[in-house]
Amino acid sequence: MISERRFLPIVAAVGALVLVQQAADLDIVLAGTDLIMPAGRMRFLTTIGTRGAALLTADVLLIWATVALAYRRGLQLLGAVHLALGGVALIAAPVFLVDAGRLVAAIGGREIVTYRVLVVRTVLLLVLWGIAGLLAGRLLSGLSKTPATDPA
């Protein structure tokens, strides 16, 4: 039987591995994407949005292991990353909406409904990820300051 303390680093390693795999996959998928152009920025954000389930799973695994191990530096790092990414997501939402407005004239026919759904879905995702990131960052930063208790 695996003890809890020995299992948690494995959980953290799996979370980190999923993040590395997703980052490598995004690097390949988004190679050549021009972030200067509105269509490039939209492609970048919607592609990240399609990876939401894997990214959230990796995040939960990392947070779970870090909290259970009471690893203060890890909690501080996760808190800072969540605060930063939460802020970036909230800033990206209106930028995405402006870019979507610039490109709407190029969409016609029946595709306009799909385009609108994509835009609404992505904006909601960015706003919710932003709020969740800020809340998680605040909580994780707070947990890093609390005294560790011995589970024994």
152 residues of the chain, pLDDT tens digit each: 456 678 899 999 999 999 999 999 888 888 888 888 888 888 888 888 888 889 999 999 999 999 998 889 999 999 999 999 999 999 999 999 999 999 888 887 888 999 999 999 999 999 999 999 999 999 999 998 876 555 54
d(CA 44, CA 61): 25
Task: Give the pair of three-digit tokens for residue 144.
Answer: 């890093």
pLDDT for the residue numbered 32: 82
Closest to 22 in 3D by CA, of 55, 71, 70, 67: 55
Backbone angles phi, psi at 151, to 5 degrees: -70, -5
H or E segment and range at residue 101: helix 72-103
Rg (CA), the chain: 19
d(C-alpha 96, C-alpha 39), whole Å: 10
* Model pLDDT, residue 1: 46
**Tokens 């707070």 correspond to what residue?**
142
Q: How far is the C-alpha of 126 from the C-alpha of 110, rounded, in Å?
A: 25
Best CA proximity match to 52, nearest among 114, 115, 113, 132: 132
CA atoms within 13 A on the CB side of 81: 9
